[in-house]
Every structure is written in C-alpha cells, then in structure tokens.
Amino acid sequence: MSVVKRGAFIVFEGCDRSGKTTQSRLLAELLKSKGIATVSMNFPERSSSIGQVINSYLTNSKDLPDEVIHLMFSANRWEHMNQIKQQLLKGTTLIVDRYSYSGVAYSAAKGLDFDWCYAPEKGLLKPDAVFYLKTSVDSLTNRGQYGEERYEKVEFQSRVAQVFDRICYREASYWHQFDASQSAEDLHSRITSIAEDLLQKVEAQPLDTL
C-alpha cells in the first residue's frame, strides 16, 4: 500500500515591512520549481465574511473592541483549518504569511493579557517551522515608509517586535530567527537551506496542534 507523504506547514512571522511577503513568495517559487506541490496562504484571509470585517477594521473604516477583533482574527484561522489539514494530508506544502503568533503579538502589544490572547489559538494545527524575520527598532524607524493601515506605526511595531521576541524564545524548538536587515538574496538562501532540511524530516512526523 502506498502512503501519501504529508506536506510541510511553514509559517512566516514578523512585523509589518519585515520582508515576509517577499520571502514567502521566493520560497514558494523555489519549492514549486523543484516539483514540490506548494500552496501559499496569507492571514488574515480577507475574502471570507469574517475576513471582510477584519479588512474594514484594518483600513480604519470600522472600530471594534480589542477583544472582539482578536477573536475575529482567530476565527479567521479556524474557518480555514479544515482546508489546511486536507492540503497537508494530501501532500501539499503550505507557505503561510502570518498565523497565530501575529494574533498574540499584535493584541498583546495593545495590552491584552498574553495567555488570554493565546487561548483561542489552542487546537489549531501547529506549524512544522516558523521563520521569524526579526527587525530592530532602528530599522523600523529608518524604514519610515509605513502605509495607512491601523497598525503601521513605529511605536506600535516596536511593541509587537517585543512580543514576537518573547514568543521566539518560548517556541525555540521550531522557530528560526533571521536578521531581516540582510539582503533579500542572503535571507532567501538561509531560509531555503532550513526549509530543505525540514522537508526531509516532516514526512515522518504526525500533524500536531498548538
């Protein structure tokens, strides 16, 4: 009997403008070019009805209490869980731009309790690896080209970065930290070598949950 090897579940995390979007695209393109079935995803996934509420919140056209929007971001992950599980089980590798850790980092940065923030994420599928693109406060200040969305302010991003650092320390067994200030090419080659190692290993490991 032939057994389908499951895909890898890879997440990119980091502050806004840390280069996640570029790096997740480069990694997905590379894996596809090697014939590995790969699908890219992005949270928040703004097309669902919950995603549309999140989009209105992020673009400042809607205000919601911090706790309410926190639970909506979490619900947006839960509503895609079955799809994610099916893809992984049929052998597709997923490259996901943001996940539960953004949920905790952005809400805890507002002052919500860390453990409260983490609670609704429990039971979601656990990534095999998180690639954390770490930005220094200096580089955040120097970039100075934040957009118009709600969270795109230097002071807030530096608090988000502190929570990401805390999570990275706690979850060190599957988090890989990269200095986001290096060139996109260097970053891509470092990420690629870790991703290729991971792809060898995950087939033997059952899916786990947070």
> Contact positions toward ligand DGP, by CB under 6 A?
16, 43-44, 58, 70, 73, 97-98, 102-103, 106-107, 149, 151
DSSP state of 119: G
Establish if 121 lies at the interface with Na ion (CB under 5 A). no
Alpha carbon of residue 102 to chain centroid: 6
CB of 149 to Na ion, least distance (A): 6
Establish if 80 lies at the interface with Na ion (CB under 5 A). no
Quick one: 16 or 128, whose CB is closer to Na ion?
16
145/147 Cα distance (integer angstroms): 6
In the list Na ion, ligand DGP, none, the entry touching 44 (Cβ below 5 to 8 angstroms by class) is ligand DGP
Helix 154-170 / helix 100-108 crossing angle, nearest 10 deg? 130
CB of 115 to Na ion, least distance (A): 24
In the list ligand DGP, Na ion, none, the entry touching 38 (Cβ below 5 to 8 angstroms by class) is none
Quick one: 12 or 178, whose CB is closer to ligand DGP?
12
Of the ranges 9-17, 45-53, 72-80, 165-173, which one interacts with Na ion (CB under 5 A)?
9-17
151/144 Cα distance (integer angstroms): 13
> What does DSSP say about strands 38-42 and 93-97: parallel, antiparallel, or unpaired?
parallel
In the list ligand DGP, Na ion, none, the entry touching 58 (Cβ below 5 to 8 angstroms by class) is ligand DGP
* Beta carbons within 8 Å of 118's beta carbon, 6+ residues apart: 100, 104
* Beta carbons within 8 Å of 180's beta carbon, 6+ residues apart: 14, 18, 19, 133, 134, 135, 139, 187
Positions in the binding site for Na ion (CB under 5 A)? 16, 42, 97-98
